[in-house]
Chains A and B, each alone.
Chain A
Amino acid sequence: MIRFENVTKVYEQNARPALDSVSLEINRGEFTFLVGASGSGKSTFLRLILKEDKASSGSVYVAGQNVANISSWRVPKLRRGIGVVFQDFRLLPQKNVFANVAFAMQVIGKSRSIIRETVPEVLKTVGLEGKEKRMPHELSGGEQQRVAIARAVVNRPGILLADEPTGNLDPITSMGIMGVLDKINQNGTTVVMATHDDDIVNEMRRRVVELKNGKVIRDEAKALYTSMIPVVGESRRLKDASGEELNRAQGAQL
């Protein structure tokens, strides 16, 4: 579904590349976590998939198509096949829940009857039944993120990109959001989620791709936030494979 071939992205000359010859394939229907320290290149990875940015070298394939070969007037078509959610929700404050989700369909010319039919369905999927008329400021952060997810998937994209979708939410709310993303993934959507949230990654046990300074340093199926295989020269581990070990370590230090 998504394939990176030796992709390098350099924003500023003589700065280190944001992505450094990344090669990676994400299959249809997969759920992939993208982890790594701040500045490791996670958002850049997602932007390249959307053709928001152009790779400096190498090729990015989305649904078998090299995005470099997509002409600018066909980029909207590419983006219709990809839903995106962000840490900061990005809802339209003057539109209610229904209108925020419907907006994504209106702007691509969906008919009113289809919108009236689809939006409530999607709101149900994300667990917002009965909240159609609420304004964004009348919702909790978790509910706002659900609206954003509903908007991202209402046009039934094959891919959902999530850039730290739980970054602003408490752990319990975050787990709720993960439930929604999981459900969407179960329905066949490929999900790529960039995150710093170790609890979530550890709980979900999905594929984990770890980036460091723009390089892929780990790509593991059904993995944890940090590798169980010690990485040579890695001294930053505060936490290990399971929470217990961490507690023990902390206890030992105290």
Chain B
Amino acid sequence: MRLLFILGEIGSGLRRNLSMVISVVLVTFVSLTFVGAAGMLQMQINQMKGYWYDKVQVAVFLCNDGSTAVGCASGPATKEQQDNLQAMLESPAVKQYINDFQFESQAEAYKHFKEQFSNSPIVDSVSQDQLPASFRINMKNPEKYQIISETFSSQPGVETVSDQRQVLERIFSWMNGASVAAMGVAAVMIFCAVLLITTTIRLSAFSRRRETGIMRLVGASKTVIQLPFILEGVIAAVVGALLASVTLWLMAHFWLNGDLSRQFLNTPFISSTQVLVIAPVLIALGGGLAGISSLLTLRRYLKV
């Protein structure tokens, strides 16, 4: 009976304050979408780190026809230079830092290149001679890249030493920046949402002061008096959180795993099911914030 009564009170409260309730829903929706987007970016970064970090290598590129580096003044790397580099890699001084290494010839480089860009017209404009041969080194500890770079970049026949990890790091730091920015927008929006919830609950308490006054006099408990107001705020916020979750899922499903993954074939995107992990967090966050701010508002504006 009391439950039915409370539900009825919530219903009438929501109806009476419809426009305010809708604005609470929308503001929590937008703010939690930003929170969720920040979360998704972090998940994406982790996913890519996990996928790439044990695959990335330090590459020592050898000179080819078109090389302009100082070490390549004598033209394409000779077999002798190549053997020399291999010997260095096998020497104990270097070997302690690396797990293993492979040599990738120009022919192999061309083959990989064609695979990687199979659906792009760029393949037709590149010939085997334009691609450098390289030693691909798997580091024991990727942080020790500097040592390899110093040892090899001044060797004859070496065009450049590149650390794929650094390229990735740049992408990751850019993505991190985006997720921090999303969190910033989210923080401002959440602040708005809390203010709006506070105002809504205050108005709601004011417009129902006659009822609550009578409830007090006839001895209704604090819970029965306050719960309808608190749940009113919580329900609005949870609806906003659900909308945000659906939006994020749609984004992951149709954009990340649709368009984007067709464009970036070998990038591991987070799946839309992974996004579902974010949903409960958003719902708890939205509901919790609304509950707490409603409770604090009622303490001040509703005598019980």
> Which residues on A are within 8 Å of B, measured CB to CB?
50, 72-73, 76-81, 83-84, 90, 92, 103-104, 106-112, 151-152, 155
Contacts and interface: CB of A to CB of B under 8 A. Distances in A.
Interface string B196-214: 0000000000000011011
A92 B1 CA distance: 20
B222 A73 contact: yes
A104 B1 contact: no
Interface residues of B, number: 17
Nearest to B217: A84
B254 interface: no
B99 interface: no
18 contacts: A50-B217, A73-B222, A76-B219, A78-B219, A79-B216, A80-B218, A84-B217, A90-B213, A103-B211, A103-B214, A104-B214, A107-B5, A107-B218, A107-B220, A109-B2, A109-B224, A110-B1, A152-B218
A106 B219 contact: no
Contact of B218 (A73, A92, A108, A111): A108
A109 B217 contact: no
A80 B5 CA distance: 18
B215 interface: yes
A155 to B, nearest CB: 7
A65 to B, nearest CB: 15
Contact of A106 (B2, B217, B222, B225): B2
Contacts of A107: 2, 5, 215, 218, 220, 224-225
B115 to A, nearest CB: 72
B222 A104 contact: no
> Which among A77, A104, A106 has the highest number of chain B CB atoms within 10 Å?
A106
B210 A76 contact: no
B218 A155 contact: yes
Contact of B1 (A80, A90, A106, A151): A106
B120 interface: no
B222 A80 contact: no
B141 interface: no
A112 B213 CA distance: 22
Contact of A92 (B214, B219, B221): B214
Contacts of A80: 218-219
A80 B216 CA distance: 9
Contacts of A109: 1-2, 224
B213 A104 contact: no
Contacts of B222: 72-73, 76
Given A107-B220, A108-B219, A92 B211 contact: yes
Instruction: Sort A-B residue pairs by CB-CB distance and give the 10 closest, nearest first.
Output: A80-B219, A79-B219, A107-B220, A109-B2, A104-B218, A76-B219, A106-B5, A107-B215, A76-B221, A84-B217
A155 B219 contact: yes
B204 to A, nearest CB: 16
A98 B122 CA distance: 82
Contacts of A108: 218-221, 224
A25 B192 CA distance: 55
B213 A77 contact: no
A76 B214 CA distance: 12
Nearest to A78: B219
Given A79-B217, A107-B5, 10 more contacts: A73-B222, A76-B220, A79-B218, A92-B214, A103-B218, A106-B5, A107-B215, A108-B220, A110-B1, A152-B218
A80 B1 CA distance: 18
A72 B303 CA distance: 12
A230 B217 CA distance: 39
Contacts of A152: 218
A103 B219 CA distance: 12
A101 to B, nearest CB: 10
> Which among B211, B213, B214, B222 has the highest number of chain A CB atoms within 10 Å?
B214
A104 B210 CA distance: 13
Nearest to A103: B214
A90 B218 CA distance: 12
